[in-house]
């Protein structure tokens, strides 16, 4: 169950990053509220997962999911670059996160 909490925490981290981006420096109310709520849920689930999963692994997986998700959301919705080098870097992050899962046993 800890891994489920960790993956969901990573998804809420994506929400946190998107809310932060859309809040324009906390000058817009609803994106700012969305960011704070997403951050609260994300950190709470991360803390729960870390009761079972080692801190280094949990943090690396959490940030990996957040980074990949934020970049994909930027590409899909914020017109950010989707060049080959960037997509290759995303593939490396995904490979690293998957490797960490399987090395935990």
Cα angle value 37/39/43 (rounded, 5°): 125
- In this predicted model, what pLDDT tens digit does every residue of 60-105 receive, in sequence order? 999 999 999 999 999 999 899 999 999 999 999 999 988 888 886 5
Q: Specify the pTM.
A: 0.88
How crowded is the C-beta side of 30, counted as CA atoms within 13 Å?
0
Q: State the Cα–Cα distance between residues 14 and 9, nearest whole angstrom.
A: 9
- Residue scoring higher pLDDT (9 or 78): 9
Cα angle value 20/69/32 (rounded, 5°): 15
> Which residue range forms the structural domain that includes residue 52?
2-104
- In this predicted model, what pLDDT tens digit does every residue of 12-65 receive, in sequence order? 999 999 999 999 999 999 999 999 999 999 999 999 999 999 999 999 999 999
Is the distance from CB of 51 to CB of 102 less than 8 angstroms? no
Total tally of structural domains belonging to the chain = 1
């Amino acid at each position: 169950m800890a891994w489920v909490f960790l993956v969901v925490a990573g998804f809420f981290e994506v929400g946190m990053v998107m809310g932060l981006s859309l809040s324009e420096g906390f000058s817009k109310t609803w994106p700012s509220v969305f960011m704070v709520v997403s951050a609260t849920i994300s950190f709470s689930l991360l803390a729960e997962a870390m009761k079972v999963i080692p801190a280094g692994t949990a943090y690396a997986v959490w940030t990996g999911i957040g980074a990949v998700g934020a970049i994909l959301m930027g590409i899909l919705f914020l017109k950010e670059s989707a060049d080959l080098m960037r997509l290759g870097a995303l593939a490396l992050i995904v490979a690293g996160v998957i490797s960490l899962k399987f090395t935990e046993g």
